[in-house]
């Protein structure tokens, strides 16, 4: 198991954040819904996923079941994922409709994405996807 660097308090905060993410996601899934609704409702057809830890990999699986095409992943530490090209922010990043950020919302990530790709790309944090889907009427 890879340990997270930082104080014990930072680690607990990170795990609490991750638990909240998965709890909301399960509520959406158990309601027969999917995060793909956000992309369909906002006419987002292709994306890149920034961060391919547990949350990023689950998002990739869910998006592959819908109409949203994941063109590549952005992660300097990820091992290969079948059928997904991996890139780093410093490299040449093809244009996508949006980049979904799955690590805890560090806003320097958004700044770095804009530096690499310009401000024409939408940057969406995983929390935004969940809040959008939670806010829609459940069936």
Asked, for residue 116, whether it belongs to a domain, the answer is: yes
The model's pTM is 0.83
Q: How many structural domains does the chain have?
A: 1
**Rounded distance between C-alpha atoms, residue 3 and residue 23, angstroms:** 22
- Is it the case that residue 11 has pLDDT exceeding 70? no
Asked, for residue 28, whether it belongs to a domain, the answer is: yes
Mean per-residue pLDDT over the chain, rounded: 84
- Is it the case that residue 18 has pLDDT exceeding 60? yes
Asked, for residue 1, whether it belongs to a domain, the answer is: no
Asked, for residue 97, whether it belongs to a domain, the answer is: yes
Residue numbers of the domain that contains 56: 8-135
Give the pLDDT confidence of 90-116 residue by residue, as tens digits: 777 899 999 999 987 565 788 788 777
Give the pLDDT confidence of 19-38 residue by residue, as tens digits: 899 999 999 999 999 999 99
Report residue 97 as tokens: 């409709």
Asked, for residue 3, whether it belongs to a domain, the answer is: no
**Rounded distance between C-alpha atoms, residue 44 and residue 86, angstroms:** 20
Backbone angles phi, psi at 74, to 5 degrees: -120, 115
Q: What is the pLDDT of residue 105?
A: 59
- Is it the case that residue 4 has pLDDT exceeding 80? no
Asked, for residue 58, whether it belongs to a domain, the answer is: yes
CATH code: domain of residue 35:
3.40.50
Asked, for residue 129, whether it belongs to a domain, the answer is: yes
pLDDT band at 3 (very low <50, low <70, confident <90, very high): very low
Q: What is the pLDDT of residue 2?
A: 41
């Amino acid at each position: 198991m890879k340990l997270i660097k930082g104080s014990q308090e930072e680690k607990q905060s990170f795990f609490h954040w991750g638990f909240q993410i998965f709890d909301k996601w399960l509520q959406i899934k158990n309601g027969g819904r999917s995060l793909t609704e956000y992309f369909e409702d906002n006419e987002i057809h292709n994306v890149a996923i920034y961060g391919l830890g547990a949350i990023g990999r689950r998002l990739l699986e869910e998006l592959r079941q819908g109409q949203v095409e994941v063109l590549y992943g952005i992660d300097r530490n990820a091992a290969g994922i079948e059928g997904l090209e991996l890139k780093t922010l410093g490299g040449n990043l093809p244009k996508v409709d949006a980049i979904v950020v799955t690590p805890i919302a560090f806003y320097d990530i958004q700044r770095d994405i804009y530096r690499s790709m310009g401000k024409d790309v939408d940057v969406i944090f995983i929390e935004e996807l969940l809040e959008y889907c939670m806010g829609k009427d459940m069936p």
